[in-house]
Amino acid sequence: MDRNGNLTEEEKYTRAMLKVKEIKEFYGHAIAFCVVIPLLIYLNVLNSPNFYWFWFPIGGWGFGLLMHAIRVFKKTSRWEERKIQEYMNDENF
């Protein structure tokens, strides 16, 4: 960051790379969810049709996927960036 608070081209590129990496990880997480959950449903219905236990992994994994999506697409807080800048500017760190 220069004296005026503007980002350099290298910093912009690094941030863009990190954002793309986060988005790719989210899509991998979502694809795994879409592949594994139907298999669990099939196994549940095949082996124990009287008790639908597949709702437990759907709920837990689905909540994790939702939190991942919020973190990737809805950056509501910039505290992480501020803390990194604080440590970078601290000469005693």
Q: Into how many domains does the chain fold?
A: 1
Element (H, E) at 34: helix 9-47
> Model confidence at 8, in pLDDT bands (50, 70, 90)?
confident
Kindly report the backbone phi and psi dihedral angles of residue 53, in degrees, each rounded to the nearest multiple of 5, phi listed first: -80, -10
pTM: 0.71
pLDDT in tens, 64-88: 999 999 988 886 567 777 777 777 7
Distance CA 69, CA 75 (A): 10
Question: How confident is the model at residue 26, as a pLDDT?
Answer: 95
pLDDT one-digit tens code per residue, 21-65: 999 999 999 999 999 999 999 999 999 999 999 999 999 999 999
Residue 85, domain member (yes or no): yes
Domain span holding position 79: 22-89
Is residue 75 within 8 A of residue 68, CB to CB? The reply is no
Does 7 fall in a domain? no
